[in-house]
Chains A and B, each alone.
Chain A
Amino acid sequence: MAKRFTIRHQTGFTAIAAACFVLLYLPIAVLVAYAFNESTSVSEWGGFSLRWFVSAWNNVQVIDASIRSLKIASSAAIIATIVATMAALATTRTRAYRGLTFKYAFINQPLMVPEIVTGVALLIFFSQIKVATGYSGLGYLIAAHTAFCIPFAYLPIRARLENMDLTLERAAADLYATPWKAFRRVTLPLLWPGIIAGLMLAFVISLDDVVITEFVKSGGQDTLPTYMLGQIRRGITPEVNAISTVFLLLSVVIVTLFFFMSRKRD
């Protein structure tokens, strides 16, 4: 065991990793601290207070927007991850076939267009559908988010698949496992870290999107980022810090749950 540890060691890597975690959490700590600030400003400390939590709680618009953000992000991330996994399986570990490069470029295409352009294009396209059908629900936003989340889910999954060992799957096939069974019992577990990475990326990317959402949203469909965007000219209140703190707390709760669940399974 001790020997393995030294094998894995690379000089300076732990220090850089530590620096990264500090870099990641220092601003977050400040953000959370100012959520408890009494003063209206996010730069001057006016004493401890819960006023921004209370005020956010009473602000229907910001609460609705937050819930809507979570709804869209979880729907889009899950759909995107499922279809991206399928696409990754279809485009890796194969001899080149006609259309392979095309598929690869096509799947990554949403990455390459500045958001404003996709936003304007979708505005024009979806508006026609909205007017023609009269339906103006969240479906448009989920579809748009799913589309730009696909490459973010696809790339890590593909990276994982690319040089994954085929021996086990072959062995399963030799033992007369059906393709589905072989996939579920062998490929999927091996692929899992890639899927989790892809899912998490897709989720946070969807949570972040502002420009495309701004153009696609209909009445009453603000998400937290578009709500903030709307406030830029008028000034953003620490309510947003409070909401973000709640989001962070929520993510910590989910992580903890995950941790204990996986412990139980062991």
Chain B
Amino acid sequence: MNLKSMSTAVGLALLASTSIASAAGELNIYNWGNYISPDMIKKFEKQFDVKVTVTDYDSNDTALAKVRQGGTGFDIAMPSQTFIPIWIQEGLIQETNPGQMENFKNVSPEWANPDFDPGRKYSVPWAWGTIGVVVNTDTYKGPADSWGIIFDTPDELKGKVNVVPEMNDVIFAAIKYAGGEQCTEDKAILKKVRDMLVAAKPNWIAMEYNTIEKMGAGDFKATSDWNGSALRQRLANAAIHYNYPKEGYGLWSDNVVVLKEAKNLENAKLFQNFMMDPENAAMNSAFHRYANGIAGSDKFMPADMKEAPEVIIPEAVKAKGELQRLCSPETQALYTKIWTELQK
């Protein structure tokens, strides 16, 4: 038995005054699970003689709740674009000014000055992607570039469609299909959205995240999904095809930020700069399978990603992509009610 950890518990109060020294050579990363290349970490550790620790979170909400309370010991996190304004507004992250860093010149123009962090004062691009419709073309051969696959399911796909249960993504897609704008409070549109969702649900087989596995094995024949996930599905089964819905699709982007309470500030800044290096960014993309927003990284990308239609948005549908925003709390409350109605 583990006497050491037992005494840790018992002596909790006694330890009150001691603190864990922040060794110069440490970096504590708080990230989505399975989202960071181990090889890239090793490279960073070697290059700067820093010991990196990675801890996972499962959602933006959990990460925000924990960081807001403080005391977690993290230096770096990767919140999504919708959440970054909140992190800034609540003073959770530091103005490290990546826009002034040496490698900033590599950031591709469309990600150099985003709305969620004007002038890139806080954040560095980590990964970005799209949310669309994945269809197994063995089962359904018709045109699939529409949210109609999900919300107005064709007969061949009835009972075989999955929906990834991300409330905001599903509502975004449903609003687009109903002809509205994101974050709309228009009751007429929302009523349409609710009725449409409730009517569509019986045609779905499930609402879950495990799409790579289930699309590959054939439990699902279509699903809403992230593009990187779709890429992995196609590599397993060539009949699987990713579609950009013509009604409009969501764009997202996760970004590297440095927490206010970071104990290893210098290492965290080094990491931000490190991530804007094309070779490093490509190394990471090869692992998480998403684009990274760093120009010049494409030549270091693995072959199966260089031309992948899931990663490189075709010119013809580029205009239909829209970066998802954070909706107002009042709007969010409406969406939560619709969601509860859908899943009750």
Chain A residues at the B interface, C-beta cutoff of 8 Å? 40-44, 59-61, 71-72, 74-76, 78-79, 120, 123-124, 126-131, 133-140, 142-143, 146, 214-215, 217-222, 226-237
Contacts and interface: CB of A to CB of B under 8 A. Distances in A.
B167 interface: no
B71 A71 contact: no
Nearest to B67: A127
Given A142-B8, A234-B34, A135 B18 contact: yes
Given A136-B71, A237-B34, A143 B9 contact: yes
A44 B45 CA distance: 36
A222 B34 contact: no
Interface stretch (B58-66, B107-115, B151-159, B294-302): B58-66
B232 interface: yes
Interface residues of B, number: 47
Contact of A235 (B12, B19, B34, B65): B34
A136 B56 contact: no
Nearest to B233: A235
B12 A230 contact: no
Contact of B72 (A44, A138, A218, A237): A218
A220 B28 contact: yes
Nearest to B17: A133
Interface string B216-248: 110000000000010010001000000000000
The interface residues of chain A, by DSSP majority, are classed as helix
B33 interface: yes
Interface in B1-35: 1-2, 5-6, 8-12, 15-20, 28, 30, 32-35
A233 B9 contact: no
Nearest to A143: B9
A143 B10 CA distance: 9
Contact of B217 (A43, A61, A134, A219): A43
A138 B8 contact: yes
Contacts of B236: 40-41
B18 to A, nearest CB: 6
Contacts of A134: 18-20
B33 A230 contact: yes
A227 B2 contact: no
The interface residues of chain B, by DSSP majority, are classed as mixed
Contacts of B32: 230, 233-234
B44 to A, nearest CB: 14
B2 A71 contact: yes
Interface in B91-134: none
B20 to A, nearest CB: 7
A227 B216 contact: no
Contacts of A130: 70-72
Interface stretch (B205-213, B268-276, B321-329): B205-213
B55 A220 contact: yes
A219 B55 contact: yes
A58 B35 CA distance: 17
A233 B70 contact: no
Nearest to B166: A233
Nearest to B75: A219
Nearest to A39: B236
Interface in B252-274: none
B196 interface: no
A237 B11 CA distance: 38
Contacts of B35: 234
A244 to B, nearest CB: 16
A126 B12 CA distance: 12
Contacts of A44: 216-217
13 contacts: A40-B236, A41-B216, A72-B5, A74-B2, A75-B2, A79-B6, A123-B66, A128-B71, A135-B19, A136-B72, A220-B28, A230-B33, A232-B58
Which 6 pairs from chain A and chain B are nearest by CB? A230-B33, A230-B56, A130-B71, A134-B19, A127-B69, A219-B73
Contacts of B53: 219-220
Contacts of B56: 222, 226-227, 229-231
A139 B9 contact: yes
A78 B33 contact: no
A232 to B, nearest CB: 5
